[in-house]
Amino acid sequence: MKNTWIITDGKKGTENQCIGLAESLGQQYKLIRIKPLFGINHLPSILWTLPIGRLPLIFLYGNREILSINLPKIIIASGKASVGISIILKKNKKNKIMVIQIQDPRVRSKYFDIVSSPFHDNTVGENVVKTFGALNRINTETIAKAKLEFQETFSNIRKPIIALLIGGENRHFRMREQEISNLVLMLNKLQKNKNITILITFSRRTSLKIKDYFKKNLENYLNITCNQKIKNSYFGYLAYADYFIVTEDSISMVSEVASTGKPVYIFRLSGKSKKFEKFYEQLYNRKAIRDFKGIIEEPWKYETLNDTNKVATYLKKNYPNYF
């Protein structure tokens, strides 16, 4: 049996945060993607803190197997849908398991052993480990591994390389056609003035309309991540790119590229979020990011984000019996 479970709702961003922490802890893990029944995951998380027993686990997990399977020593969970499971398992197993909840659970942190949450979420509690950005799988070891793994694919690409990471609309930001048109115009002009290569990748939230616009109007770019024969080529982007341009809608993407130590440009979108602004303000203060306005400057140095290692180090130091 694996010593660690990762419990998520299957969203790639939250899942990668959990995997990154498990890898930094040196843990073999079992990945559990929950499928809550009847929309029960939309109920207020505070409900699961009441003395209601283990039965709701079936509806939260989507399968009665949750009542009978042997539990691991460590649970790493993330996302609203996982909060109820984390709370109930911890209440029933107490000191037999360690529960690490990633991101703000929207309930008091005392229901978990540790909560890892970014500063911009304003999560309070003595057992809250604060981070600058989202946890991820990017560090010196994964970058070095990707350098070797993708050498044949990326080493002959003309430098400097700009990796363009395009997200999508969410409840805070919108991708207006005029904004994307301006971005494409700036990139095409940049290509004419400088001998560069643009690598592009889209997120799962990128609309077909936006993808088609880039395909039709952005000149001379490569999209290696669309090659199904090359597994996890996104890591190759992180390893071989000299610069990153990222749309501002994804804290996870920005956290990943700012963990490489390479220059990061943010492309602003329509919309506003106090949480996002607080996150970006921290990165501006660290000299990690600049706004993209059509110009690529000389590479600059900054203190890379190292949040995942920070949380892993804290856990190993304060809970040595689990590792």
* DSSP summary character for residue 41: G
The tens digit of pLDDT for each residue in 204-228 reads 999 999 999 999 999 999 898 877 6
Q: Does position 308 have pLDDT exceeding 90, yes or no?
A: yes
When divided into structural domains, the chain yields a total of 2
Residue 298 domain flag? no
Q: In whole angstroms, what is the distance from residue 320 CA to residue 322 CA? A: 5
Q: Are residues 66 and 132 in the same domain?
A: yes
Query: pTM of whole model > 0.85?
Result: yes
Residue 11 domain flag? yes
> Domain of 214: which CATH number?
3.40.50.2000
Instruction: Determine how many CB atoms are found less than 10 A away from the CB of residue 283.
Output: 20
Q: Are residues 50 and 174 in the same domain?
A: no
The single residue listed with the structure tokens 């009665």 is 64
What range does the domain containing 69 cover? 4-136+308-322
Phi, psi (deg, nearest 5) at residue 8: -145, 175
Residue 117 domain flag? yes
As a whole number, mean pLDDT of residues 274-297 equals 96
Q: Are residues 160 and 91 in the same domain?
A: no
Q: Are residues 203 and 244 in the same domain?
A: yes
Q: Does position 307 have pLDDT exceeding 60, yes or no?
A: yes
The pLDDT assigned to 1 comes to 54
DSSP H helical ranges for 25-108: 56-61, 80-93
Cβ distance 121 to 275 under 8 Å?
yes
Q: Are residues 45 and 122 in the same domain?
A: yes
Q: In whole angstroms, what is the distance from residue 243 CA to residue 176 CA? A: 24
CA nearest to 59, candidates 79, 88, 30: 88
For residues 73, 75, 76, 79, the Cα torsion angle rounded to the nearest 10 degrees is: 180
Q: In whole angstroms, what is the distance from residue 155 CA to residue 206 CA? A: 28
Residue 87 domain flag? yes
The tens digit of pLDDT for each residue in 110-131 reads 999 999 999 999 999 999 999 9
Residue 299 domain flag? no
Q: Are residues 173 and 250 in the same domain?
A: yes
Q: Are residues 41 and 80 in the same domain?
A: yes
Collect all residues with Cβ–Cβ distance below 8 Å to 149 and sequence separation of at least 6: 235, 236
Q: Are residues 148 and 83 in the same domain?
A: no
Residue 92 domain flag? yes
**Count of alpha carbons within 13 Å of 130, Cβ hemisphere only?**
10
> Domain of 37: which CATH number?
3.40.50
Q: Are residues 172 and 239 in the same domain?
A: yes
